[in-house]
Amino acid sequence: MISIKNIHKKFGKLHVLKGIDAHIAEKEVVVIIGPSGSGKSTLLRCINYLEEPTEGEIIVDGIPLTSEANINKVREEVGMVFQRFNLFPHKSVLDNVKLAPMTVRKMPKAEAEKIALDLLEKVGLADKAHAYPEQLSGGQQQRVAIARALAMRPKVMLFDEPTSALDPEMVKEVLDVMKSLAHEGMTMAIVTHEMGFAREVGDRVLFMDEGRLVEEGTPDEIFSHAKEERTQSFLSKIL
Amino acid sequence: MNFDFDLIVRSFPLLLVGAGVTVQITAFSVSLGMLIGMFVGIARLSNTWIIKTLAAVYVDFIRGTPLLVQIFLIYFALPIIVGQRIDPFIAAITACSINSGAYVAEIFRGGIQSIDKGQMEAGRSLGMTWGQTMRHIILPQAFKRIIPPLGNEFIAMMKDSSLVSVIGFEELTRRGQLIIARTYGSFEIWLSVAFIYLIMTFTISRLVDYLERRYKIDDKH
């Protein structure tokens, strides 16, 4: 579904990604872990070209990210959830969710609204459809953000530290929504510090450090039998 | 000194006609200026070198030269190039809109830049184009924030429009001058002119305050 070939990313002199090769299969849930500054978020943001790689090739669902038209096409198929939610504060919850289907897919209003309400129901927020983002808790906002991304009927969902900005008691409600998505067979790439979640939901775990992919494997291979010393020392500090 | 109150009463209708013309120029210029300013403000943030540079040159030129000189350029210098006399009303509005556009452009640029960049990323990640995100997400939010500086620009333009009196265009200031030329009532007339400007700018600033408050309440829902 997603193929990442020799991706480099430099911000000025800072070499953030130093040649990453990775592959994400259809319906696979891939969790990317690593210390902060290791380049995991940058890698995720390269997949939908919010960051343009300095070098290398990314192909999503057979579409190479080479032209502006292709990038827009890929973005329609790839949903993204941000650490800081990034809901549109001037629009109601319902309008947040239905905006992209209406403007990008040219979906009629009634249909977009129905899809939006179904998705809000799914993330447990149907009763908040007419509220505004600032009236919601962080956990609720993040669930709206997930519904908003799902409204485009994406084939892939990217999650960039979706629970890092949340109060501890709200982490679970967001992870539960993500879990149910995974069980429905959504292809997902998740950057997170929630190791319990990674272990439970992930099909594969990638460990990154200093812009390199150090090790990858099943959750069990990484969390219980890591081969690389870097991986072991990172996990020993956080588990 | 003799204060001729009767002169004020007699001149007032004429001055009010001039005030109407001032309102007209200001309304036209600020509306056109907003349109110009919005596009130029966005252009200044463009990634395309040539668009960005052209916008910057325009803004720098206008802000770096006096409005009075710009009015002269359009009314006296431009006809030499196009070989045709330009109507004072057209010249006045053209000069004022082009001038206002540069200041409004900076206001828009600041407003757009004040919106969290996560908003653009969220829009783009949903497959919306840059233009769609600008229109549906960024501009509506930016617009709310720039109401106060836009109000200031409106008031500044209303006062600066007095400069078009130099090309003989009969707005409020020019009307005052003409009445004084006939009656020698400098003190009474200039006082009246100032008073009328004050009433007009005061009204606008109250209106802007009201709009700002209303949008603030809107924000809270």
Residues 63-122 of B with CB under 8 A from A: 116, 118-119, 121-122
Look at residue B218 in the predicted model and tell me its pLDDT: 58
Query: pLDDT tens across A49-58, in order?
Result: 999 999 999 9
**Are the C-beta atoms of A132 and B221 separated by less than 8 Å?**
yes
Look at residue A46 in the predicted model and tell me its pLDDT: 94
Query: pLDDT tens across A195-230, in order?
Result: 999 999 999 999 999 999 999 999 999 999 989 999
Residue B220 has pLDDT above 80, yes or no: no
3-state DSSP assignment of residue B161: helix
Query: pLDDT tens across A102-156, in order?
Result: 999 999 999 999 999 999 999 999 999 999 999 999 999 999 999 999 999 999 9
C-alpha to C-alpha distance for A177 and A121, rounded to whole angstroms: 11
Q: At what angle do helices B5-44 and B186-220 cross, to 10 degrees?
A: 40
The answer to whether B144 contacts chain A (CB < 8 Å) is: yes
User: What six digits make up the tokens of B1?
Assistant: 């000194």
Query: Which residue pairs from A174-178 have beta carbons closer than 8 angstroms and sit at least 24 positions apart in sequence?
Result: A174/A139, A174/A142, A174/A143, A174/A146, A177/A122, A177/A123, A177/A124, A177/A143, A177/A146, A178/A146
| Interface residues on A facing B, Cβ-Cβ cutoff 8 A | 48, 50, 72-73, 75-76, 78-80, 82, 84, 86-90, 99-100, 103-104, 132, 134-135, 145, 148-149, 152
Q: Which residues of B touch A84 (CB under 8 A)?
A: 118
Closest CA of chain A from B114, distance in Å:
14
> Residue A191: left if φ>0, alpha if ψ -120 to 50, beta else—which one?
beta
Per-residue exposure over A57-88, b if at least 16 CB sit within 10 Å of its own CB, e if not: ebbbeeeebeeeeebbbbbbbbbbbbbbbbbb
Residue B121 has pLDDT above 60, yes or no: yes
Strands A204-209 and A212-217, sheet pairing = antiparallel
Query: Which chain B residue has the Cα nearest residue A159?
Result: B125
C-alpha to C-alpha distance for B134 and B112, rounded to whole angstroms: 9
Query: Cβ contact (<8 Å) for A90 and B129?
Result: no
- Please count the other Cβ atoms lying within 10 Å of the Cβ belonging to residue A25: 12
Report the complex ipTM.
0.91
Q: Give the phi and the psi of residue A47 in degrees, each rounded to 5.
A: -65, -35
Percent with pLDDT over 70 in chain B: 97
User: What six digits make up the tokens of A171?
Assistant: 């982490």
The CA-based dihedral angle spanning residues B57, B62, B66, B67, taken in that order and rounded to the nearest 10 degrees: 160
DSSP A100-111: HHHHTS---HHH
In which band, very low, low, confident or very high, does the pLDDT at B221 lie, cut at 50, 70 and 90? very low
Query: pLDDT tens across A87-102, in order?
Result: 999 999 999 999 999 9
3-state DSSP assignment of residue A56: strand
CA distances from B152 to A65, B109, B143, B208 (A): 45, 16, 14, 9
Look at residue B219 in the predicted model and tell me its pLDDT: 56
Q: Choose the weakest-confidence range: A79-88, B103-112, B194-203, B209-218.
A: B209-218
Alpha helices in A88-228 (DSSP H): 93-103, 109-122, 138-150, 168-183, 195-201, 219-225
Look at residue A78 in the predicted model and tell me its pLDDT: 95
Q: Choose the weakest-confidence range: A201-210, B1-10, B132-141, B202-211.
A: B1-10
* Average pLDDT across chain A, whole number: 93
**Are the C-beta atoms of B220 and A90 separated by less than 8 Å?**
no
The answer to whether B124 contacts chain A (CB < 8 Å) is: yes
**Are the C-beta atoms of B97 and B29 separated by less than 8 Å?**
yes
Q: Which residues of A touch B144 (CB under 8 A)?
A: 90
Look at residue A171 in the predicted model and tell me its pLDDT: 94
C-alpha to C-alpha distance for B84 and A232, rounded to whole angstroms: 82
Over range B70-99, report the average pLDDT.
92
- Nearest CB to A90; choose among B126, B127, B141: B141
In which band, very low, low, confident or very high, does the pLDDT at B217 lie, cut at 50, 70 and 90? low
Query: Cβ contact (<8 Å) for A89 and B141?
Result: yes
Query: Which chain B residue has the Cα nearest residue A44?
Result: B125
Query: Cβ contact (<8 Å) for A152 and B127?
Result: yes
